[in-house]
Amino acid sequence: MKILMILTSHDQLGDTGKKTGFWLEEFAAPYFTFKDAGAQLTLASPKGGQPPLDPKSDEPDAQTAATERFAKDAAAQQALAHTVPLAGLKADDFDAVFYPGGHGPLWDLANDAHSIALIEAFYAAGKPVAAVCHAPGVLKNVKTADGQLLVKGKKVTGFTNSEEAAVQLTDVVPFLVEDALKANGGLYSKAADWAVYVQVDGHLITGQNPASSEAAAEALLKQL
């Protein structure tokens, strides 16, 4: 069971001068869910190396059992510090792909040609494609084999407009995940803000927010 996890390389929060990146819980919870199930993991990012961590996700109020476990796990930290570059990876070499969120992917992965091609290949091969929180934004420019937008007519979820408003970044992000999924014809639905919520449509799996990351990972494992 080989799972590819793709993280952002983008660390600038628009032109605010603040830092962003991936959200720790959304990496740590799926990482350990997969590891504990015996999966072989490959971590990748557009630039390779250490992906930027959203500093807010490292603050005390954002900690969970998974992030605390990560803080004590030297092997996991080493793996994260040495992500492989996306270019050159092939969907043929893996059984599934998982995208942790954080605001970073909205800037780089949503428009990254390698990422888009990988998702298209995974999806065409009938392999699970999962994304959580802001990461469903990486589906924005992805198409199916017949040229349709991937999310069109599919049940999807992702970070809600109201959650974005709550973190006061509505006017900073390049696009709103909820709006983008709806604009592309996705059958978008959501639960209450910050509640666990996952949508599964065939082998496309999306989670609403950080709290949904473990459930999204479990949904992916179920398909494998």
Task: Tell me the per-residue pLDDT of 84-96, one tens digit each, with 9 for 90 and over.
Answer: 999 989 999 999 9
pTM: 0.98
Query: How many residues are present in the chain?
Result: 224
Q: What is the pLDDT of residue 199?
A: 98
Domain holding 135: CATH number? 3.40.50.880
For the residues 123-143, what does the mean pLDDT come to?
A: 98
Q: What is the pLDDT of residue 98?
A: 98
165-168 LR contacts (CB < 8 Å, sep 24+):
166/193
Please, are residues 145 and 124 in contact by the beta-carbon 8 Å criterion?
A: yes
8 lies in which domain range? Answer: 2-223
Interval 96-131: pLDDT, tens: 999 999 999 999 999 999 999 999 999 999 999 999
Gap between the Cα atoms of 109 and 127, Å rounded: 19
Number of structural domains, the chain? 1
Q: How many Cβ atoms sit within 10 Å of the Cβ of residue 164?
A: 21
**Pairing mode, strands 129-132 and 155-156:** unpaired
**Pairing mode, strands 96-99 and 2-6:** parallel
For the residues 31-56, what does the mean pLDDT come to?
A: 98
Phi, psi of 19 (to 5 degrees): -95, 150
Gap between the Cα atoms of 74 and 61, Å rounded: 22
For the residues 56-77, what does the mean pLDDT come to?
A: 97
**55: confidence class by pLDDT, cuts 50, 70, 90:** very high
